[in-house]
Amino acid sequence: MYDRRQFFGALGGPAAAAAAATLHPNAIPRLLDALSAYDGAPDALAADESYWRTVQQAFSVDRSLINLNSGGVSPSPTIVQDAMKQHLDYSNEAPPYTMWRVLEPQREGVRQRLARTFACDAEEIALTRNASESLQICQFGFDLEPGDEVLTTDQDYPRMINTFKQRERREGIKLVQCSIPVPAEDPDEIVRIFEAHITPRTRLILMCHMINLTGQILPVKPVVQMARTYDIPVIVDGAHAFAHFDFTHADLDCDYYTTSLHKWLLAPHGTGMLYVRRDKIADLWPLMAAPEQMDDNIRKFEEIGTHPAANYLAIAEALTFHQGIGAARKAARLRYLRDYWADRLVKYDRVRLHTSRDPRFSCGIATVQIEGVDTIDLVRHLRRTHQIIATPIRHAQFEGVRISPNVFTTLEELDRFSDAMERVVRHGLPQS
């Protein structure tokens, strides 16, 4: 098991120049500076297995299983797990004091670090339990009247669609869903599709930054700026995007952004983030009631009653781990892993990839289909026969297996996945 100093000190390879900075735990900031100064191309490092082998060893994952569902929830590195355990142990010494009085105020440091990563004001960041909670704060937080319309696509996350459907049943609003291409490689077309579905009754737009079904990256900034000309706010679902590929708030220009931190940031399970532009906070209702004096305070969205401090404080270790790798290097590795298995499978006529391989429109997630093979049966076969964890996707426009490896994934694991898929292509699923 690696502690923080051992992990960063062992990076080696292209980061060898930074190793001397790791002789003391307090040297982490200097180490990050040194890693940032590394001028090698991220694409070159993506294929350096000696570097990524060290990263893989920072996890305590079960290697008898092949976990290709990082898009659902990811394991945390051991340094994150250890930090959470230490905070939890301390919390239980005398919770009214140790958890509430000592640890809870330390959330502010986590808030500040998330804000630096997203390049925004710390007073615009709320710590939540997941992207769904962040999204529902926004989805329920706007006042809507019967007949008002909310616009989204038919590829948004089912829980978020159901959230608006509940408002339909309860309040008489109208949910409008538009269809977009699969894959989508024309950003202007996406903007046109959203704009074509705006009516005089449209009050709110929900859009994905990265679609959970295929890993499709959508053009957030052009849609936000188009909607702004109609005075329509846009809620951005960034559940799969944050810490997956390299961007900041300036690349989006959105007023509302939501994400889960237990996916690609590798933070403790049950941690999320909500961004609300500072001048928009007062007009957005919290999901749980907050006192009136908090109307313009981002922390009103955190008023959920008693909650653990440990999970949120350990986000800090996940941020350090993410920064040690580097956002651009991480994205390059994830695309390399995606291409590693996709290159093998797309050679077959029966295999269809429902995800663009253009780096502007995708990263580590891709959805693959073997035509003539039932997706549910295929995922069941992968799990039972090969101990491979993957996600079945069924949509009116397409179906397939969603594959989402992560920095802990080895090439040997992807070889085993590809071998299993090739056998199905050639011989079909075995008879049960």
User: CB burial class (10 A; 0-12, 13-18, 19+) of residue 11?
Assistant: buried
Identify the pLDDT of residue 202.
98
Q: What H or E segment, with its residue span, contains residue 97?
A: helix 95-97
- pLDDT tens sequence for the chain (432 residues): 334 443 344 344 433 333 333 333 433 444 445 445 556 788 889 999 988 998 999 999 999 999 999 999 999 999 999 999 999 999 999 999 999 999 999 999 999 999 999 999 999 999 999 999 999 999 999 999 999 999 999 999 999 999 999 999 999 999 999 999 999 999 999 999 999 999 999 999 999 999 999 999 999 999 999 999 999 999 999 999 999 999 999 999 999 999 999 999 999 999 999 999 999 999 999 999 999 999 999 999 999 999 999 999 999 999 999 999 999 999 999 999 999 999 999 999 999 999 999 999 999 999 999 999 999 999 999 999 999 999 999 999 999 999 999 999 999 999 999 999 999 999 999 986
What one-letter code names the amino acid at 347? K
pLDDT, residue 341, reads: 98
Residue 149: CB atoms within 10 A of its CB come to 19
Other Cβ atoms within 10 Å of 70 Cβ, number: 24
Tell me the C-alpha distance between 216 and 246, whole Å: 15
- Radius of gyration for the alpha carbons in the chain, expressed in angstroms and rounded: 22
Domains of the chain, first to last? 1-39 (no CATH), 97-317 (3.40.640.10), 329-427 (3.90.1150.10)
- Cis ω for the linkage preceding 219 (within 30 of 0): no
The single residue listed with the structure tokens 């710590």 is 127
Task: Check if the beta carbon of residue 416 is closer than 8 Å to that of residue 370.
Answer: no
So what's the pLDDT on residue 41?
85
